[in-house]
Amino acid sequence: MGRYTPFSGLPEGCGIEDTWDGSTTRTEVPAPWRGSGGKARCLKHLVDGSVDILINIAMCKGHSERFGGFTMTMKNHFGTFSPTPGHRKGSQDYLLAINQTPEILGPMDRRLGKVIYPRQQLCLVDALWASRGGPGGNPSHQPNFLAMGVMSPIVDYQVATQFRGEQMGWQPNVEATRRMLVLVDFGYTEADLPAGSRIIEP
């Protein structure tokens, strides 16, 4: 979008992803993508560590049923990483895998499989206007709601279940998204979430 929108006046050091030439640098992506992982193209500035803060803004609208029928901050990283594998067979594996990389979570101790220090992230879901329809659908509701957090899977889980599901009556396609909404892949359990939250078991 930055190619067609005249973003200007950003503070020094801030940039829109595609003004930096897009996802061009190959980096390791873990399992479950391609079984045991592989390499995918990512934004060079995340791979080399010259960018350390991510701001991720998703809109609260419908999407493909294979992604649960809703947009999410996790899927916004189809752009941070090359989006092409996300539209092929194994797209859910790719979505889960890229969101577990050091480029998104922060530098990791690969022997222990743990993040050494988390990358600074701000994840927002814009539901000032929202829609049930597909990615090109017009807004159908005006919830006047913003969701904010610092880790994509948790923000997406809360918005899909507690906001879209419970408050707005827009149930996600749980069968399609059960893996994406099981936070144990990211080292969290139900006890780590606020009261009333639920982990959807596969």
Q: Is residue 160 over pLDDT 90?
A: no
Q: Which range has the worst mean pLDDT, 34-43, 76-85, 111-120?
A: 111-120
Does 5 reside within a domain? no
Does 111 reside within a domain? yes
Does 8 reside within a domain? no
Structure confidence at residue 1 as a pLDDT band (50, 70, 90)? very low
Does 12 reside within a domain? no
The phi, psi pair for 142, rounded to 5°, reads -120, 80
The pair of structure tokens assigned to 160 is: 């899909």
Query: How many separate domains does the chain show?
Result: 1
| Structural domain for 24, as ranges | 17-192
Mean pLDDT to the nearest integer, 181-190: 62
Question: In the chain, what percentage of residues exceed pLDDT 90?
Answer: 12
Does 85 reside within a domain? yes
Does 3 reside within a domain? no
Mean pLDDT to the nearest integer, 97-108: 85
State pLDDT tens for residues 137-151. Answer: 788 888 898 999 888
Q: Which residues contact 180 (CB under 8 A, 6 or more apart)?
A: 67, 68, 72, 74, 92, 95, 96, 153, 156
Question: In the chain, what percentage of residues exceed pLDDT 70?
Answer: 71
State pLDDT tens for residues 38-67. Answer: 999 998 888 988 887 888 999 888 887 777
